[in-house]
């Protein structure tokens, strides 16, 4: 059984094609970018609407398949930016109607976890999902995927992008800040903001902006100290979630999981507590269609179908609202 998955929760319009054995035949994307500033929802939606046909064609070509080989269509139903989600849902309904295929709407955050299980061999991990807009610690517990901790304000990726922007490094800032951090030598104490199982970055961002503009510090040291501080915060709550659930596996996901220093710190924490650390290839960390295709297969195999009339979007759906029938 082959599924074509459509991702459109934010910047990225992605198409993934996978089969039920976990083979990835294609994972193609095109992302809306801006030179300055953040995402403009209507512009991102225009980008997706303009390119969706091309990305679908490119994925089918890469997979050397045609629509008749596709058994299921899945799409990101939630959560995300309404404008962009609507384009993905529209594309999914159109393909399902035109080619008479079953349709499944899925939750994007859960897909970040299940693609990790499919491709790394993790069995029951705690997911540290660290992307631009999202920062959540998710694990399966008591019949649902639950959020054990999360950001109280902005996502860690958006935070890193803002720090980089303040330093004049350009967008996306995460990778640029990482490059700069390699030249940092001195650790500068920064506000460490863990509240219970949650984290926050707003106060830290204000503090950093003051430090960047004070002329007293060099950006290399600030980049290094920023990473050390926020990754320690993320791993502290991840470790506590692992201890609380008695889980022995950590999986990294989301764009920030591409960061080699975060990966190194995560591996170290796991080694210290005799747990396993699973890290995906970058193409499966960032938003991607393959994870949507895989989650579509899981839900299809558990008997789920989304009727065309119900194939809408749910921008604010929480991870623990999802009924889990596929476990």
- Note the residues at the interface with ligand ATP (CB under 6 A): 9-11, 80, 131-134, 155, 157-158, 160-161, 172-175, 178, 254-256, 258-259, 286-287
- CA-CA-CA-CA dihedral for 205, 206, 209, 211, to nearest 10: -100
H-helix segments, the chain: 41-63, 82-99, 108-120, 156-166, 173-181, 202-214, 219-245, 260-272, 282-285, 289-301
- Based on the shown chain and the rule CB under 5 A, indicate whether residue 151 belongs to the binding site for Fe ion: no
Could you say which residues in the range 278-317 bind Fe ion, by CB under 5 A? 287
Q: Binding string to Fe ion for residues 118 to 137, with x set by CB under 5 A, is what?
A: -------------x------
Give the nearer residue to ligand ATP in terms of CB position, either 179 or 323: 179
Pick from 172, 192, 149: which is nearest to 39 by CA?
Answer: 172
Per-residue HEC secondary structure of 47-112 comes to: HHHHHHHHHHHHHHHHHCCCHHHCCEEEEEEECCCHHHHHHHHHHHHHHHHHHCCCEEEEEHHHHH
Give the nearer residue to Fe ion in terms of CB position, either 30 or 287: 287
Write the CB contacts of 53 (distance below 8 Å, at least 6 apart in sequence): none
Smallest gap from Cβ 67 to ligand ATP, in A, equals 27
Q: Which does 259 bind (CB under 5 to 8 A by kind): Fe ion, ligand ATP, none?
A: ligand ATP
Q: Binding string to Fe ion for residues 229 to 268, with x set by CB under 5 A, is what?
A: ----------------------------------------
Q: Using an 8 Å Cβ cutoff, are 75 and 306 in contact?
A: no
Give the nearer residue to ligand ATP in terms of CB position, either 105 or 155: 155
**Count of residues in contact with Fe ion, rule CB under 5 A:** 2
Give the nearer residue to ligand ATP in terms of CB position, either 116 or 173: 173
Give the nearer residue to ligand ATP in terms of CB position, either 70 or 198: 198
Question: Which tokens sit at 249?
Answer: 């596996």
The residue ranges that bind Fe ion (CB under 5 A) are 131, 287
């Amino acid at each position: 059984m082959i599924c074509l998955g459509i991702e459109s929760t934010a910047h990225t319009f992605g198409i993934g094609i996978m089969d039920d054995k976990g083979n990835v035949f294609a994972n193609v994307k095109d992302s809306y970018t801006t030179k300055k500033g953040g995402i403009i929802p209507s512009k991102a939606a225009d980008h997706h609407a303009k390119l969706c046909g091309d990305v679908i064609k490119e994925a089918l070509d890469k997979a050397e398949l045609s629509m008749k080989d596709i058994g299921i269509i899945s799409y990101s139903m939630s959560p995300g930016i309404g404008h962009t989600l609507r384009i993905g849902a529209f594309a999914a309904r159109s393909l399902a109607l035109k080619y008479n295929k079953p349709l499944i709407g899925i939750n994007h955050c859960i897909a970040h976890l299940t693609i990790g299980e499919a491709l790394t061999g993790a069995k029951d991990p705690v997911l540290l999902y660290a992307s631009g807009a999202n920062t959540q610690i998710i694990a399966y517990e008591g019949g649902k995927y639950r959020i054990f901790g999360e950001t109280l304000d902005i996502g860690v990726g958006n935070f890193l992008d803002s720090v980089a922007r303040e330093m004049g490094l350009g967008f996306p800032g995460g990778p640029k800040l990482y490059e700069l951090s390699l030249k940092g030598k001195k650790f500068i104490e920064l506000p460490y903001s863990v509240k219970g199982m949650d984290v926050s970055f707003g106060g830290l961002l204000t503090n950093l902006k003051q430090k960047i503009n004070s002329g007293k510090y060099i950006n290399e040291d600030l980049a290094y100290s920023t990473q050390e501080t926020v990754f320690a915060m993320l791993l502290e709550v991840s470790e506590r979630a692992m201890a609380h659930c008695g889980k022995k596996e950590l999986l990294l996901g989301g764009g920030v999981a591409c960061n080699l220093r975060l990966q190194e710190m995560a591996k170290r924490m796991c080694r210290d507590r005799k747990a396993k650390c699973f890290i995906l290839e970058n193409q499966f960390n960032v938003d991607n269609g393959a994870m949507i295709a895989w989650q579509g297969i899981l839900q299809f195999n558990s008997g789920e179908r989304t009727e065309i009339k119900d194939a809408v979007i749910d921008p604010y759906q929480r991870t623990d609202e999802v009924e889990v029938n596929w476990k």
